[in-house]
Structure 1
């Protein structure tokens, strides 16, 4: 029986490089801490409370690829040669990967894990820098009776203070977000440091396994992905070098955050070791860190600098946590960071 673990995400939050654990003095409670605690408790179960082998996220990947091909020409990414499948150090778990590119898509990639006791999906699509379209992000984790879900069109630019970008991409999508926010309620505390990478239509939820809930999730995934493809299809190429530079840096900042702070780092590390984990994070899941910019994590996020110049590995929280959705039905931010 599998005693290993991996998580999804991204982001969840869109945010920390699959990192977890710390049984000593617990660090400040963060959304990543909450996510990890939930997942960790699932892994400690001797047996899942229900049989989850019937749960599969493969159909999500198949749908996304088929739907994408209806809108654009998909070609295998050069990354596919290196990142296709990885077997865990104990030989018990297989990490399966796929990656593609298209005229407006820099990278479409997926990471999935399916065992009798755990299902994981990390699916993301990144636009080319010539387009300011949001980043599609789906991070799903299922184990036992527990499901931890993050689904969003992650904004490339600030949607809390930059009304123009929010109006451009999210105003028309608010009815969709409201619909699924009611069916998949807010999953609990989410920190302000993570919130800056999410949109007003983000679905952050946790639920007990049921056929109905998984059907709702699949429906949400399909509708969100169709909406994203529609945005991408209508996106106009940026020709101003300053605009392209702005998009490139925004995406690079996002990738830098995710690779360093995504909440599954330590889980991946236990599965495939530190060297392969860093390679997978930087060169596959968040590919573009080297190609899109030269700034490092502390250049973007100096608040994480320790006195010795290293990065604070604790999932510290800047600002408050949000126990309920901090956007109203019009997409207006109603929370406060302080």
Structure 2
């Protein structure tokens, strides 16, 4: 559940969870099929997304269950109304590939899928966060940059210049979803898909196509990734990923959903040790070390979603991937 998405995403999750979420029976095992990881059969409509990701990744690298699978794969919610599946894998160049799927009542479904590179690579982070209610879909799909693409032009050119045509194609099919905070933008790339749409088979097919193409693009970048040997660059990559994870763990709007499903203690564990694994191990800095503007006078973290007071109602990049803001901010 993308913590860097708009307030609308957070509110939609919280409102729907109160009315539609229970907690449910499916534990999350994993299996093998022709040497590839396989998700447990379920009624989740997003299962084809996860299965494609696992199968496609297995074509590029050697995928194995992560130690997190034993810890979290069999987690069950507090009641039997919601199906949940947690899957986690690792591979050369991939520190963690993990997926959280939720299916509640009245058509409520959530997919949080991500792939985090090893610190020896400055690869972007593959991020897919989909929320579906009976008629509404809220989507964030991106190759989240490890470094701010507005401040680091060389990083933007390295990873996104060749992908702009892909992003522009889907920007037309999946239009900008509304105001996005300035804080959110620093964790997104020029090809981010941030959209909202009414449910239909056509739009579901478009989203699946986008997911497949973005995943293939990320795997292509991974294939070309060269292991960093400069210790200072590895340290910088590690801190950049830790900063990202620290933001996500603190500002994840899906936390309230998880708290209803698992209770507060287990929900915090899922967020910090599964969804954003590494926040406790890749670095020692706190959220306020990275984002001091969120510190209240009494030393706690301000819960406001935006401290910049700036939002973007339209796509703030031009066709070349250059940041231009917009006239409605």
Structure 1 and Structure 2 fold alike (TM over 0.5) = yes
Distance in 2, Cα, partners of 1:267 & 1:45: 11
Q: Does 1:79 align with 2:75?
A: no
SS of the residue corresponding to residue 87 of structure 1 reads: coil
Distance in 2, Cα, partners of 1:163 & 1:298: 26
Select the residue among 87, 90, 94 that pairs with 2:83. 94
SS of the residue corresponding to residue 317 of structure 1 reads: coil
Q: CA deviation at 1:311?
A: 0.9
Q: Does 1:207 align with 2:197?
A: yes
8 Å contact 1:12–1:150 — kept in the other structure? Answer: no
8 Å contact 2:129–2:139 — kept in the other structure? Answer: yes
Structure of higher RCO (CA pairs closer than 8 Å, 6+ residues apart) = 1
Number of positions where the alignment pairs a residue of Structure 1 with one of Structure 2: 306
Distance in 2, Cα, partners of 1:250 & 1:162: 13
Distance in 2, Cα, partners of 1:246 & 1:173: 24
Select the residue among 283, 286, 290 that pairs with 1:293. 283
Q: Does 1:173 align with 2:155?
A: no
Select the residue among 228, 238, 257 that pairs with 2:218. 228
TM-score (norm 1): 0.87
Encode CA deviations 1:270-291: one digit per residue, 9 max, x unaligned: 2211101110001000000121
Encode CA deviations 1:89-136: one digit per residue, 9 max, x unaligned: 233223211111011000000000124421110000000000000000
Q: Does 1:124 align with 2:114?
A: yes
Q: Give unmatched runs, 5+ long, in structure 1.
A: 1-8, 14-30, 47-52
Q: Does 1:57 align with 2:46?
A: yes
TM-score (norm 2): 0.89
SS of the residue corresponding to residue 199 of structure 1 reads: coil
Distance in 1, Cα, partners of 2:11 & 2:104: 20
Distance in 2, Cα, partners of 1:182 & 1:12: 22
SS of the residue corresponding to residue 114 of structure 2 reads: strand
8 Å contact 1:111–1:121 — kept in the other structure? Answer: yes
Select the residue among 5, 10, 17 that pairs with 2:2. 10
Q: Does 1:329 align with 2:303?
A: no
Deviating more after overlay: 154-163 vs 78-87: 78-87
Instruction: Report what 1:26 is aligned to.
Output: none
Encode CA deviations 1:215-258: one digit per residue, 9 max, x unaligned: 00000000000000000010011000000000000000000000
Q: CA deviation at 1:42?
A: 4.8
Instruction: Report what 1:68 is aligned to.
Output: 57
Q: Does 1:108 align with 2:97?
A: yes
User: Closer, same or farther in 2 for the Cα pair 1:41/1:292, shift >3 Å?
Assistant: closer
Encode CA deviations 1:23-67: one digit per residue, 9 max, x unaligned: xxxxxxxx22x2233345556778xxxxxx987000000000000
Instruction: Report what 1:35 is aligned to.
Output: 9
Q: CA deviation at 1:336?
A: 6.6
Instruction: Report what 1:193 is aligned to.
Output: 183
8 Å contact 2:315–2:326 — kept in the other structure? Answer: no
SS of the residue corresponding to residue 79 of structure 2 reads: coil
Query: Root-mean-square deviation (CA), in Å?
Result: 1.8
User: Closer, same or farther in 2 for the Cα pair 1:282/1:54, shift >3 Å?
Assistant: closer
8 Å contact 2:120–2:228 — kept in the other structure? Answer: yes
